[in-house]
Amino acid sequence: MQAVQSPIIPVVGELIKNSPGTISLGQGVVSYSPPPEAIELLPQFLGESTNNLYKAVEGIPPLLTALAQKLLAFNQIEINTENCIVVTAGSNMAFMNAILAITSPGDEIILNTPYYFNHEMAITMAGCRVVLVETDENYQLQLDAIAQAITAKTRAVVTISPNNPTGVVYCEKLLRQVNQLCRDRQIYHISDEAYEYFTYDGVKHTSPASFAGSSEYTISLFSLSKAYGFASWRIGYMVIPKHLLVAIKKVQDTILICPPVVSQYAALGALQAKDEYLQENIGAIAQVRQIVLEYLEQLQGLCTITPADGAFYFFLKVHTQIDAFTLVKRLIQEHQIAVIPGTTFGMENGCYLRVAYGALQKDTVQAGMARLVNGLKTILVTAK
């Protein structure tokens, strides 16, 4: 465990607590609540006494049915004899399930940088080796670099789209090429799609498991935490090759026994929410995103701001010699604005910051972004 990095969110949270009045552009959550349909199903859970007992390791049948319908309608993923769904306690657990099911200690997993820190932590915990592959200047996948990184010990390539921490969305062509590469090399493609609904300006989300013939080697991870305001309910799910089900059930039964049944009922209700629920809430985040973009334009010359069409993040490259974590501490302590340092996401060369805007309303985003712009200008000009 000493080799595993400490999660940054609690560290930044402690700094925020010691600087009252700080606005957080740190944690990746939304501000809105679950749909009323989620809460309306809870009496049904409470009304059945057997719901207080353990349920199926892979999830309750009504939820599995609802998820299969959602996957077909939104992701074009058909649940058939070659694949299956497993409900998990969030998609972080789905990732850990996958790593423990497909690896032995010493195996390698390819992550594209910047990576999602909990992925790197899980791989290290499993006694496996993280192999880092750089993305291009726009944080897009580099197929040749991924191919060159594959060795006899490689068990999977991980992609995240829409991406955390960059907000970048990978196009269908790139994802198809990575998926085909995994098939050719007989390894798994782990596709993390926690932000599947969060795309903007007409950009479409693509699920690699929708590609013909991909079921045998594609592992897809999903979450209700973001889109349905469900973070603390801890419900996600994974679509896996059928041949992995026995192994993944072993992992899940050991760690969890079964996903929280009360949360599964809430999830079943959430999936019945009207289309307007997602449209209105994600539409509001899209408006906040526009405000963030307008403020970020004021940092031209001080930062490189890469276009991002998804999730609710921007990943800034700051033109400074100041260490990223030092910069984060100064922004909190001197300007009462919190962001996350890029070192957490594997960006060791240079100063990078992740800006998260999903939890902000229009009024707080104005105040928060004004503090960020003013803070960076003040600190960077002083440093020169």
Of the three residues 270, 295, 328, the one that is the final residue of a domain is 270
Shared-domain flag, residues 226 and 262? yes
CATH number at residue 342: 3.90.1150.10
Taking the CB of residue 293, how many other CB atoms lie within 10 A of it? 15
State how far the alpha carbon of 35 is from the alpha carbons of 9, 215, 229, in Å: 26, 32, 8
Shared-domain flag, residues 308 and 330? yes
Shared-domain flag, residues 157 and 208? yes
Domain contains 187 = yes
Is residue 353 very low, low, confident or very high in pLDDT (cuts 50, 70, 90)?
A: very high
Of the three residues 237, 270, 303, the one that is the final residue of a domain is 270
Pull the structure tokens for residue 49. Answer: 């006494």
Of the three residues 270, 304, 327, the one that is the final residue of a domain is 270
Measured CA to CA, the distance from residue 365 to residue 335 in angstroms comes to: 15
Phi-psi region of 319 (alpha: psi -120 to 50; beta: other; left: phi over 0): beta
Cα angle: 17, vertex 318, 203; to 5 degrees: 90
Measured CA to CA, the distance from residue 147 to residue 136 in angstroms comes to: 15
pLDDT tens-place string over residues 106-156: 999 999 999 999 999 999 999 999 999 999 999 999 999 999 999 999 999
In the chain, count H helices and then E strands: 13, 13
Measured CA to CA, the distance from residue 216 to residue 236 in angstroms comes to: 21
Domain contains 234 = yes
Is residue 382 very low, low, confident or very high in pLDDT (cuts 50, 70, 90)?
A: confident
Is the pLDDT confidence value at 363 over 90?
no
Is the pLDDT confidence value at 384 over 70?
no
Domain contains 2 = no
Q: Which of 253, 307, 271 is nearest to 100 (CA)?
A: 253
**Domains identified in the chain, total number:** 2
Shared-domain flag, residues 154 and 242? yes
Shared-domain flag, residues 239 and 113? yes
Shared-domain flag, residues 181 and 46? yes
Shared-domain flag, residues 266 and 298? no
Alpha helix locations (H) across the chain?
Answer: 8-17, 36-40, 42-46, 61-70, 91-102, 117-125, 143-149, 172-185, 245-255, 261-270, 275-296, 324-335, 362-383
CB of 165 closer than 8 Å to CB of 192 = no
Domain contains 91 = yes
Is residue 354 very low, low, confident or very high in pLDDT (cuts 50, 70, 90)?
A: very high
Is residue 28 very low, low, confident or very high in pLDDT (cuts 50, 70, 90)?
A: confident
CATH number at residue 250: 3.40.640.10
Domain contains 226 = yes
Domain contains 3 = no
Contacts of 48 (CB under 8 A, 6+ apart): none
pLDDT of residue 362: 83
State how far the alpha carbon of 345 is from the alpha carbons of 26, 115, 374, in Å: 13, 5, 25
Shared-domain flag, residues 356 and 230? no
pLDDT of residue 10: 87
Domain contains 358 = yes
Shared-domain flag, residues 57 and 81? yes
Phi-psi region of 158 (alpha: psi -120 to 50; beta: other; left: phi over 0): beta
The domain in which residue 379 lies consists of 8-33+275-383
- Residue range 67-93: average pLDDT? 97
In this structure, the dihedral spanned by the alpha carbons of residues 113, 115, 121 and 124, taken in order and rounded to 10 degrees, is -30
Shared-domain flag, residues 233 and 288? no
Shared-domain flag, residues 116 and 19? no
Shared-domain flag, residues 263 and 297? no
- Residue range 29-52: average pLDDT? 95
Instruction: Tell the residue number behind the tokens 């960076």, with chain if given.
Output: 376
Give the strand pairing for 313-318 and 303-305: antiparallel
